[in-house]
Structure 1
Amino acid sequence: MSELLSQEEVNALLQSIPLQQEAAPAKPEAKPTPTRYRKRASRYDFKRPNRISKNVLQSLHFLHERYARNLALDLSAYLRTISDIVLLSVDQLSYAEFLMSLPETTCINVVKIVPQGGTLAFEVNPTLVFAVIEKLMGGSSETPTLNREITPIEQALIEGFIDMALKDLHDAWRTIGETRFELDRRETSPQLVQIVAPNEIVVVIVFEVKVGQTSGMMNLCIPAIYLEPFAVELRQEHQTDITTRMTEADYRRIDEVIARAVAGLSADLCRQRMTIRQILALKEGDLFPLGADLHQSVTVSVEGIPKFRAVFGARKGRKAVRIEAPIVDEEPEPSSEGGEGFQALETGSG
């Protein structure tokens, strides 16, 4: 008969059992469990399905970045003040959410998409509307925030800006298809504009427009269903960066904007140094020498930058200078020959 275990030996055996269980994981690592290779699940909201791919949204972002730059140039020339337009975001959401994001009273325009069919919404924030109207009427762009409806007269005044914005939008979309945007009607309440059902997905393109010291928002709402015919062209635009391509229309627009720019011209006859005592002693009828020969060439500057050599003279009883040659790195010898063709150019008294 085998020998019985004492109580101390039984306790030693019981204490050794958990020690063996803890030491078990110290064995060589087993093969990785399949859980590391499981595909992660992502949430899907059936109330807000993503109908527009990321590539198409990226193409729309590039497309309307160029649109913002072109419209900023035209708006600066239209208002004769420095204007800037920045593309803030391109998002897809339901049409009801877009309407809820707008103020109760605003300038919202229904625009037809021709010839593809359909409509889009073009909204201009009241702050921007009043700033543009103020500049058009000759005031400053620093207008106070007005919490009131836009009157019919103000709607007529802002129509020129809307037409210009739609024309530039047509030029921007020309790269993906022949599409025109025609103004259908204007409203002041967003709830009166129902271009699609409230639960339909739309693409909302948000711009920030700065006119002088005043800034306002501008929103372009395009239903996703009307973007489907352009899906192929927009994917192709995503593969090639359209911001690096310039069309003939872009070059013509830049030439037109530059041609309308105003630059100041000045012709320096001389620059005489005098003491403060001599300047204080000057009175009406005093004469002082210019220190330069009238037959000598003078410098004509454009915005303070020397650009031309000219000859001083007169034309039809007015002081004038005749352009002789442009100023280049190697300046030509001043010409002393006279001739006709004086261009009238006001000069400072001296």
Structure 2
Amino acid sequence: MTRPRRGEARTYDFRRPVRLAREHSHMLRVAMQTWSRQATTLLTTSLRVVCQLSNAQIEELSYDEFLTGMPDQSVCAVVTLDPLPGKALISLDLPAVLTMIDHQLGGPGGPDQPDRPLTDIEQSITKTLLTRLLRELTYAFETIAHVEPHLIAIESDARFVQAALPTDPVVVARLDLVIGQLESSVEFCLPFAMLAPSLEAMTRSQESGDKTRVRLEAAERTQQRLSDVQVDVRVRFEPVRLPSEQVGRIAVGDVIALHHPATRPLSVTSAATEFARAVPGASGRKLAVLITDALAEKP
């Protein structure tokens, strides 16, 4: 079974809807692109030949579909990403692995590579190179979770690795690998259960950030609207207490003594709250007051 490439039709199972959100798929793609850039430099310097790891594509499959789509000649690295639960798999074509070993041992890395499992020495060389590549995952996955990758084993048949149940969903990152003139691919399989805790934490963090932003924007809009509201402002003298009998006899022309000293400022109020003091004056032909003291807000 050959996995469809970009732009080709894909089978969609409506009984198993996609669980990976678009934003999470984008973050995983960015993480794998970051890892591929770091790995490209490492491979080129280690093999002393121009290498390139690129074109990261993210797919969601069942574990059985991933195993079925693997080539017959492959090398599968079993990896843990502490503290994430479970095991991840990195699958490489056997000819690509043998070519990398050939280059590391000073060979030409030609296209004619033997069709056989790796020897113990070749496995040791491969483990050393993969361990160095895995170290770059810590930096690449930093936006998703802080992980410490560890290489557990190398298998010639991924069916011997029980990384997930056949029907369990997995996220597969497929990258194109070029080693000199050889074109191959690398597939990074991560069980969805491994990524779920970090993705859920990211979603909660984003939702919390979105709610905070919405609340601040609403408060800012409210503040702007309140700043535009017109309110009644009054300037008054000190109040005077009069007997009710005198109030009842008030007539036009009567003079009421305010007992407000000429040196005492007037009160500036709004909604019965005093917020400033002022002295009377004029602005052109209009009466006005000059604010002399803005009262601090009471705690």
Question: Which residue matches 1:231?
Answer: 199
Kept in 2, the 8 Å contact 1:106–1:150? The answer is no
**Is 2:95 the partner of 1:127?**
yes
Structure 2: segments with no counterpart, 5+ residues: 1-10, 208-299
Q: How does 1:1-350 map to 2 (within 5 A)?
A: 45-232=13-200
For the Cα contact (< 8 Å) 1:79–1:135, is it kept in 2? yes
8 Å Cα contact 1:83-1:211 kept in structure 2? yes
The verdict on how the C-alpha distance between 1:233 and 1:138 changes in structure 2, with shifts beyond 3 A counting, is farther
CA drift of 1:48 comes to 2.7
Q: What one-letter code is carried by the residue in structure 1 that aligns with 2:128?
A: G
Amino acid of the structure 1 residue aligned with 2:109 = S
> Displacement, 1:145?
4.6
**In 1: Cα distance, 2:127 partner to 2:117 partner:** 16
Specify the SS of the correspondent of 2:97. Answer: helix
Q: Residue 113 of structure 1: CA displacement?
A: 2.1
Is 2:90–2:189's contact at 8 Å kept on the other side of the alignment?
A: yes
Task: Kindly state the Cα deviation for residue 44 of structure 1 after the two structures are TM-superposed.
Answer: 7.7
1:143 is matched by which residue type in structure 2? P
Deviation, structure 1 residue 236: 9.5
* C-alpha separation in 2, matches of 1:219 and 1:164: 17
Q: Which AA in structure 2 matches 1:150?
A: L
Taking the aligned partners of 2:107 and 2:157, their CA distance within structure 1 comes to: 27
Tell me how far 1:124 sits from its aligned partner.
1.5
Q: Matched residues in 2 for 1:63 and 1:233: separation?
A: 17
SS state at 2:96 partner: helix
Deviation at 1:143, TM superposition (A): 2.7
Give the drift of 1:166. Answer: 0.7
Give a deviation string over 1:46-71, Cα, whole Å, max 9, x none. 54331111211111111111111111
1:225–1:89 Cα change, 3 Å: same
Relative to the length of structure 2, the TM-score reads 0.61
Aligned CA distance change for structure 1 residues 147 and 238 (closer, same or farther; 3 Å): farther
Question: What is the rounded CA distance, in whole Å, between the counterparts of 2:82 and 2:140 in structure 1?
Answer: 15
What CA RMSD, in Å, does the superposition of the two structures yield over aligned residues? 2.4
Identity %: 25
CA deviations over 1:95-144 (Å, ceiling 9, x no partner) = 00100111234211111121232111111211210110110111112232
Structure 2 vs 1, CA of residues 143 and 44 (structure 1 numbering), >3 Å: closer, same or farther? closer
Q: In 2 relative to 1, CA 144–238 (structure 1 residues): closer, same or farther, beyond 3 Å?
A: farther
Q: How far apart in 2 are the matches of 1:47 and 1:100?
A: 19
Kindly state the Cα deviation for residue 177 of structure 1 after the two structures are TM-superposed: 2.4
Q: Which runs of 4+ in 1 moved over 6 A?
A: 236-239
CA contact (8 A) 2:32 2:56 kept: no
- SS of 2:31's equivalent in the other structure is helix
Distance 1:112 1:63, change over 3 A: same
Query: How far is the alpha carbon of 1:149 from its aligned partner?
Result: 1.8
Q: Which runs of 5+ in 1 are unaligned?
A: 1-42, 240-350
Distance 2:159 2:86 in 1: 19
Contact 2:99–2:113 at 8 Å: present in 1 too? Answer: no
Number of positions where the alignment pairs a residue of Structure 1 with one of Structure 2: 197
Counterparts of 1:165 and 1:237, CA distance in 2: 30
Determine the C-alpha separation between the residues in 1 that align with 2:205 and 2:59.
Answer: 18
TM-score, normalization by structure 1 = 0.52
